[in-house]
Amino acid sequence: MKPNDKARIFSSAVVWVLILANAIFVGTWVMSFSLVNGQNTTQQMDNATGKQTLRGMATVSFYATDIQAAKKWYSELLGIEPYFTRPNPENPAYTEYRIGDYQHELGIIDSRYAPKNATSGLGGEIVYWHVDDVTSTFEKLLAMGAKEYEPIINRGADFITASVVDPFGNILGIMNNPHYLEILELTKR
């Protein structure tokens, strides 16, 4: 090997190390700082730990007195079977689906295991799941026996929401959410 060859190999290696270091820096920077709707946004961090307090939805839990019927209903709605069931599929106390672009978890729990201070009836919180077509999804839910909780509402800027009460007494929100689509697009890059 000639001295010139060694210099060229060394120079190429240095260039690749600089490219890699830049990619790592830029990747890390993009993860903690992003542009949404043309505005700089940073993740809110806990001052004491330097970490985000709420990092993302992990599991939404619904309760049902007839968990087998709920399992059948949600399997039909989602077009998939649960990936996890305990203690066993024939006699479930808990069944769980992974759904959507981020594989969020939807758990159905036998009502016997609800927290002791849980109230009966509808609660005030609504988790809205992004759907591609609010109208057709809303119509499908109603056709499957869900009851309207809140009609389809155009909230402006392409935010459209609706919610139903499933046959087991849980509020299921659906929406078109442009922010969800923006973040989804950013994660694909």
pLDDT of residue 57: 86
Q: Residue 3's pLDDT band (boundaries 50, 70, 90)?
A: low
Strand pairing category for 160-165 and 104-110: unpaired
Whether the per-residue pLDDT at 6 is higher than 50: the answer is no
Which is more confidently placed, 92 or 47?
92
Tell me the pLDDT band of 123, cut-offs 50, 70 and 90: confident
Give the pLDDT band of residue 32 (cuts 50, 70, 90): very low
pLDDT at 34 over 80: no
> What domains lie within the chain, and their CATH numbers?
3-42 (no CATH), 51-118 (3.10.180.10), 122-189 (3.10.180.10)
Share above pLDDT 70 across residues of the chain, in percent, rounded to a whole number: 76
**Strand pairing of 59-64 and 104-110?**
parallel
Whether 163 and 173 have beta carbons less than 8 Å apart is answered as: yes
Measured between alpha carbons, how far is 175 from 105 in angstroms, rounded to an integer?
18
What's the pLDDT score for residue 2?
54
Work out the average pLDDT over 120-135: 90
Least confident range from 12-21, 45-54, 60-69, 165-174: namely: 12-21
